[in-house]
């Protein structure tokens, strides 16, 4: 137990470098480049984020904060919609102490993601794919969630990627050898699916210790900014779209 807690702390402070350039804060993202990016990627700039889209994002990643969804590009894609955007997720926490006092703090996560929304006729099994950090805490306490899908013939996949799901049978058939090959090439990205939607986003972060040092001074929030710089959006789009491209036809055939 002690070793598992120590390992969880180690992972929280571990820096995960990204292959994509980043901005320091969401506010520093060069929004003036959106029309140029839209033309390059054959997408359209979305000035007002649809409320339904924001609801899907909340389902996939949890409660989003004041910034919500921003800097959105979108286009039709194989019977659905493919959207490239920045997301701000705000988490507020509090702790009660024995003397009756309470401390509160806020963590803000900012990152770039690619989201596919299919039509109502298609539904994906719910799952999360994350880079495998070989966490002892997960091995000890989350076997039911993270240990039920295995591919004995592909140990390299499990070395790189951790599968979390409560629908193991459906996910097992979804991750075919071809899909797993694409996922291994993009093992630094996170992929999650729920209902008729898939989200892919970058996992790299600056490390918990540095996040505390770089917390915003105006409200004291701890900020983990993983927003990809505008110049690297095309490279991220290519990688994330390849994951969605391989997952979608497999689900259509099931």
What is the tens place of the pLDDT at every residue in 133-178?
A: 755 555 555 555 566 788 899 999 988 998 888 888 999 989 999 9
| Between 224 and 114, residue with greater pLDDT | 114
pLDDT at 186 over 90: yes
Query: Residues 13-26: what's their mean pLDDT?
Result: 81
C-alpha–C-alpha distance, residues 225 and 228, integer Å = 9
Q: Which two tokens stand for residue 46?
A: 């979305």
Q: How confident is the model at residue 217 (pLDDT cuts 50, 70, 90)?
A: very low
Q: Note the pLDDT of residue 69.
A: 93
For residues 15-26, average pLDDT: 84
pLDDT (0 to 100) of residue 208 = 52
- For 100-154, the DSSP string reads S-EEEEEEEEEEEEEEEE--TT--EEEEEEEE----HHHHHH-HHHHSS---TT-
Q: Which pLDDT value is given to residue 114?
A: 97
Mean pLDDT, the chain, whole residue set: 81
pLDDT at 194 over 70: yes
Number of Cβ atoms within 10 Å of the Cβ of 63: 10
Q: Do strands 197-202 and 102-117 pair parallel, antiparallel, or not at all (unpaired)?
A: antiparallel
Q: What is the maximal distance between C-alpha atoms in the chain?
A: 60
Residue with tokens 């794919």: 129
pLDDT of residue 24: 87
Integer CA distances (angstroms), 101 to 92, 95, 193, 222, in order: 17, 8, 40, 21
- The values of phi and psi at residue 176, to 5°, are -70, 170
Higher pLDDT, 211 or 170: 170
Q: Where are the domains of the chain?
A: 2-253
Among the listed residues 11, 208, 212, 26, the one whose alpha carbon sits nearest the alpha carbon of residue 113: 26
Distance from C-alpha of 185 to C-alpha of 238, rounded to nearest angstrom: 12
Question: What is the structure's pLDDT at 147?
Answer: 60
pTM: 0.83
């Amino acid at each position: 137990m002690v070793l598992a807690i120590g390992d969880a702390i180690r992972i929280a402070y571990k820096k995960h470098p990204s292959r994509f350039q980043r901005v320091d804060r969401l506010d520093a993202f060069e929004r003036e480049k959106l029309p140029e990016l839209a033309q390059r990627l054959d997408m359209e700039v979305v000035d007002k984020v649809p409320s339904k889209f924001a609801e899907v994002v909340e389902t996939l990643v949890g409660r989003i904060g004041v910034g919500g969804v921003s800097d959105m590009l979108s286009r039709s894609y194989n019977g659905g919609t493919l959207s490239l955007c920045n997301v701000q997720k705000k988490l507020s926490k509090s702790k009660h102490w024995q003397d009756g006092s309470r401390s509160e703090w806020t963590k803000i996560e900012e990152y770039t993601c690619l989201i596919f929304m299919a039509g109502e006729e298609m539904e994906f099994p719910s799952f999360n794919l994350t880079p495998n950090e070989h966490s002892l805490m997960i091995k000890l306490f989350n076997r039911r969630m993270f240990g039920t899908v295995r591919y004995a013939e592909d140990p390299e996949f499990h070395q790189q990627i951790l599968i979390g799901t409560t629908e193991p049978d459906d996910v097992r058939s979804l991750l075919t050898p071809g899909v797993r090959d694409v996922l291994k090439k993009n093992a630094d990205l996170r992929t999650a699916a729920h209902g008729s939607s898939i989200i892919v986003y970058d996992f790299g972060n600056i490390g918990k210790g540095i996040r505390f040092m770089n917390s915003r001074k105006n409200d004291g929030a701890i900020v983990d900014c993983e927003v990809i710089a505008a110049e690297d959006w095309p490279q991220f789009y290519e990688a994330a779209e390849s994951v969605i491209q391989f997952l979608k036809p497999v689900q259509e055939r099931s």
